Amino acid sequence: MSAGPRSVVVVGGGSVAWIAALALRRTFRHLPLDVTVLDTGPDATGPRVHWTLPSQRGAHAQLGVGEGEFLRATGATFRLASEHTGWQGGERRYVHAHGEIGTPIDVTPFYKWIVERTLAGKTERAEDWSIAALAARNGRFAQPMGAEKELTASFTYGFHVDERAYATFLRSAADRGGVRRIVGTLADVQRAADGRVETLRLADGGQVSADFFVDASGAGALLMSRVDDTPRLDWRRWFPCDRAIAGLAPGEVDPAAMTRTLAGDNGWSWRVPLMGATAVGGYHASAFGGDDALRAGLERVAPGLRDVAVVPVTAGRRQKFWVNNCVALGAAAVELEPLAGAHLHLAQLGLAAFMELFPLDSHPAAEAAEYDAQMAAYADRLRDFTLAHYRAGPRRPGAFWDAVHAEPLPDSLAAKLDPWRASGRLTIADFETFEETDWAWLLIGAGDRPQALELRVADEVRKLLPVEAESLRQTIARLASSMPRHGDFLRRLHAR
């Protein structure tokens, strides 16, 4: 019916490219739309593994991919939470789980009760009020169940998955779904007089033409870098880490369904359980230490490390995400350390926005403007949440951390933290990936303490009787400890 694109070429070979291609193919299968991936191979500078948000489950549903099939094919594990250690100095550690903290007191979120208790001088940890957090820390896992308001349904989960295994798995799903694949290296881009891309020329002399192009080639932005010379917005002043290292260590028998991060002198490291292996890695600022020290540090915490690679990273984002007939997805659009586990999520937000704005003709300028505005907002909000890990709570000492803290916060993050610090109030803006509860996990966990609590809220939470609180705590602990071991759960799943 429309004069929209009849062919789309997705450039890239990583999971983002395959997700985009298959989603486009499935969503518009009623249209005469041909979807081709120009497979430029794995994204060498992208994340080695992903720790994903629960939204990845929705993505799989959209792609027609079964969860068991996915887990068995990729050796992925479940993820209930992250545990962050040392970000505020010393051994302080806290959990950010994919689940509720307690249950609302009438209509007031339970985390306000924790704030109130903290202000009264009591020690309360958010994780003691979350099934997901307790299960994650104790190596347990089960899927949520029961009616919406029940405690057993008060959490959700994401995954840990190896990027290459995931890309391979998605590639075969895309192949079955009718996505065409051309393997090649992009050599040149042929554009029409109006700037639209017409044809991609390949290094082997071949070429591929299409009406529309998606650049999912990773931070190198193979296509977008040739059609858009608007300077990238540089985020390095907030995120000074410019090296990423990753490798594989022997697996654990009984891994926790949890991502671990550890703040270090010159950056931070992470640890992710996979079936049969543990992936470890880190982000590091070269101005504060060399690559050798980085590698040695990682080998100390993960003996038997293999497949180690160090790649450069540059935090920042594009200003334009949609130019003429090209859009950028994933790291081609936004490069940000995946501390919050939202790397794939952000790519999917872009994909969803693109499909909602899918061109109806050959001059989609209004769509491009809307897309740019939405993507900029999504990216900036995610930057803020990621940055809050560094900036919330007491400061970790050291030259790297002094430099991190010396940089003024983005206005939007200050606008978030100021009301919190004044009165425990959290306001969630449009286009935020993370919700009120996520911010509460992070800020309470980091020990970022409000000076006071809103009067009305303080009154509300005091209605919770100590005996009721104790009963809730016990119920949550009992439910968490009744879950199977995560390792057993995975082994049973793989035996099926």
Partner 1 sequence: MNSAPPLRLVIVGGGTAGWMTAAAFAATLRPDQCEVRLIESSEIGIVGVGEATLPHIRFFNRRIGIDERELMAHTHATFKLGIEFVNWARLGDSYIHPFGAYGTRAGGVSFHNFWLRRRRAGDTTPIEDYSLPIVASRRNRFSLPSEDTTSLSSTFGYAFQFDASLYAQYLRGFAEQRGVKRTDAKVVDVALRGEDGFIESIKLDSGETVAGDLFIDCSGFRGLLIEQALKTGYDEWTRWLPCDRAVAMPCENAGPLTPYTRATAREAGWQWRIPLQHRTGNGYVYSSKFISDDEAGAKLSSRLDGKALADPRFLRFTAGRRRKTWNRNCVAIGLAGGFLEPLESTSIHLIQVAITTLIDYVTPGRAFDPRTVEAFNRWIEMEYDRVRDFLILHYHATERDDAPLWNYCRTMDIPDSLKHKMELFRRRAQVVQYKDGLFLEPSWLAVYFGQRVMPDGYDPRADATPRPDLDGWMTTMRDRIDTAVNQMPDHETFLAQYCPSGARA
**Which chain residues interact with partner 1 by CB under 8 A?**
1-2, 4, 27-31, 119-120, 355-358, 360-361, 366-367, 369-370, 415, 418-419, 421-423, 425, 427-430, 451-459
For the bound state, the minimum distance from the C-beta of residue 326 to partner 1, rounded and expressed in Å, comes to 19
Residue number with CB closer to partner 1 (238 or 420): 420
Beta carbon of residue 8, minimum distance to partner 1 (angstroms, whole number)? 13
User: Shortest distance, CB of residue 191 to partner 1, whole angstroms?
Assistant: 24
Cα separation values, 225 from 61, 129, 394, 401, Å: 32, 47, 40, 33
Tell me whether residue 78 is exposed, middle or buried, using C-beta atoms within 10 angstroms of its C-beta: 0 to 12, 13 to 18, 19 or more: buried
> Minimum distance between the CB of residue 433 and partner 1, rounded to whole angstroms?
13
Toward partner 1, which CB reaches closer, 107 or 495? 107
The residues with which 3 forms a beta bridge, in sequence order, are: none
Q: Shortest distance, CB of residue 352 to partner 1, whole angstroms?
A: 9
Task: Specify the residue, 148 or 194, whose C-beta has the smaller distance to partner 1.
Answer: 148
Pick 296 or 415: Cβ nearer partner 1: 415
Packing angle, helices 15-27 and 163-176, rounded to 10? 20
Name which of 355 and 493 has its Cβ closer to partner 1: 355
Q: Is 369 left (phi over 0), alpha (psi -120 to 50) or beta?
A: alpha
Q: Measured from the CB atom, is 120 or 183 closer to partner 1? A: 120
Residues 174 and 177: their CA atoms lie apart, in Å, by 5
Which CB atom, from 212 or from 400, has the smaller least distance to partner 1? 212
CB of 482 to partner 1, least distance (A): 31
Confirm if 381 and 432 have CB atoms less than 8 A apart: yes
Tokens of 397: 């000492």
Cβ at position 52, least distance to partner 1 in Å: 21
Cβ of residue 452: shortest distance to partner 1, in angstroms? 4
Identify which of residues 134 and 357 has a Cβ nearer to partner 1 in the complex.
357
**Dihedral over alpha carbons 255, 258, 259, 261 (to 10 degrees):** -100
**Per DSSP, which regions of 192-305 are E strands?**
197-202, 207-209, 212-215, 233-234, 243-250, 258-263, 267-274, 277-284
Nearer to partner 1 by Cβ, of 3 and 192: the residue is: 3
Residue 288 · residue 174 · CB < 8 Å: no
Task: Say how far apart CA 342 and CA 56 lie, in whole Å.
Answer: 10
Specify the residue, 12 or 109, whose C-beta has the smaller distance to partner 1. Answer: 109
Q: Residue 174: what residue type?
A: A
Q: Cβ closer to partner 1: 153 or 377? A: 377
Q: For the CB of residue 382, give the shortest distance to partner 1 in the complex, in Å.
A: 16
The torsion angle over the Cα atoms of residues 444, 447, 449 and 454, rounded to 10 degrees, is 10
Which residue is listed with tokens 């909602």?
356
Least gap, CB of 405 to partner 1 (angstroms): 19
Q: State the nearest-atom distance from the C-beta of 192 to partner 1, in Å.
A: 22
**400, 41 Cβ separation under 8 angstroms:** no
Based on CB atoms, which residue is closest to partner 1, 143 or 412? Answer: 412
- Alpha carbon dihedral 485, 486, 487, 490, in 10-degree steps, equals 120
444 Cβ neighbours under 8 A, 6+ residues apart: 94, 111, 114, 115, 118, 126
Longest dimension (CA), the chain: 75
Full strand arrangement of the beta sheet holding 158-162: 49-51, 158-162, 77-79
Residue 365 sits at φ, ψ, to 5 deg, of: -70, -40
Give the residue with the Cβ less far from partner 1, 219 or 458.
458
Half-sphere exposure in the Cβ direction for 55 (13 Å, CA):
14
Residue 33: Cβ within 10 Å count = 18
Q: How far is the CB of 147 from partner 1 (least distance, A)?
A: 13
* Rounded least distance, CB 114 to partner 1, Å: 16
| Secondary structure (3-state) at 118 | helix
